[in-house]
Structure 1
Amino acid sequence: MSDRLASDAADVNSLRARLARSGGTRLPCLRIPEEAALSAGDEVRLVLDGHQRHAEVTSDSTGLLVRGAYDDRRRMREATDADGAGDGGANRLVEWAREHDREPGDAVDLDEVDPGYLYGLRVPGDRAVYTVTKRPDEGLRDIAESLYDT
């Protein structure tokens, strides 16, 4: 069963974030604010225009960031394994930034819907409604990861 939660609901913590450049590329990435409940290596769901995507939190000398958002975990890992240069599928974060005319340096709102698991990204001033799904069972996730690593 899933619930719906608006970005302006009391249970949603909205953080001001910024888009930045991803390494030496001109592609936008998401700079995570310090107050977010995240660490490097975390895998999260990132909602872009109502669609849940998979993203990995990484870090650089400036702090935490998300370099891309992908349709599923396999595509996310393929892109991460190739430092974002692989053919792991479309980087939905880059697409979202282009569709909303957002460039590196521009502000965005990062909504903590389920801290540590589910986040939403939106243009400041816009309102979004998120479908809140149950977190995956940790035991099943461990089994899936062991199969992926073999």
Structure 2
Amino acid sequence: MTDRLPSDHPSVETVRATLARRGRTRSRLELPADDRFPLTTVRLVLDGDTYHGRIERSREEGVEITGAYDNPRLAREHDGEDRLEAWRAESKIDYGRSVLVDAVESGFLYGVREPGERVVYDAVESPDEGLAAIARDLDDG
């Protein structure tokens, strides 16, 4: 059985991020550069659905998640429908506004929500590094 963690659980770290435009039709989350956000492909939960995003260096001092996609390959290539942009449009959040990013498991699983909203996440453990490397190799092949 999968554990469930609410966004206000003590083990979930929450930071404010800025929802910004990336190009004409894509969104990005501007985040602080710290250990909670290593440069990697991660799982990203939006309204209960899990997607994949890429944490990358921003042009400014921080890091950013550059969209939410259906699988890790699409996230790395920024290809396909940007589910983060669809979530932004459906939520009617303007660019430049703050959203909350929950680090459910740093470097692996994050959730994005509107300020004041409480959500519950399915806590999934990240694979060990050996299995993660094999999965990346298979995904690239």
Q: TM-score range with shorter-chain normalisation?
A: 0.7 to 0.9
* CA RMSD in angstroms, aligned pairs only: 1.8
Q: 2:42 aligns with which of 41, 44, 54?
A: 44
**Are residues 9 and 149 of structure 1, via their aligned partners in 2, closer, same or farther at CA, if it must alter by over 3 Å?**
closer
* C-alpha deviation, 1:6, in angstroms: 0.4
Residue pairs, 1:1-150, within 5 angstroms: 1-22=1-22, 24-25=23-24, 27-35=26-34, 37-39=36-38, 41-62=39-60, 63-79=62-78, 88-150=79-141
Using the size of structure 1 for normalisation, the TM-score is 0.83
User: Is residue 36–residue 106 contact of structure 2 (8 Å, CA) maintained in 1?
Assistant: yes
Deviates more, 1:2-11 or 1:28-37: 28-37
Partners of 1:143 and 1:7 lie apart in 2 by: 31
Q: Which runs of 5+ in 1 are unaligned?
A: 80-87
* C-alpha deviation, 1:49, in angstroms: 0.5
> Which deviations, in whole Å up to 9, do the C-alpha atoms of 1:66-103 show, x marking residues without a partner?
11111111222332xxxxxxxx3221111111111112
Count of residue correspondences:
140
Q: Percent identity?
A: 42
> Which deviations, in whole Å up to 9, do the C-alpha atoms of 1:106-149 show, x marking residues without a partner?
11011111112111100000110000112123223222323344
User: Is residue 15–residue 110 contact of structure 1 (8 Å, CA) maintained in 2?
Assistant: yes
**Are residues 74 and 128 of structure 1, via their aligned partners in 2, closer, same or farther at CA, if it must alter by over 3 Å?**
same
SS in structure 1 at match of 2:51: strand
Question: What is the aligned partner in structure 2 of residue 83 from structure 1?
Answer: none
User: Is residue 104–residue 123 contact of structure 2 (8 Å, CA) maintained in 1?
Assistant: yes
Q: Which runs of 5+ in 2 are unaligned?
A: none
Paired letter, 1:53: Y
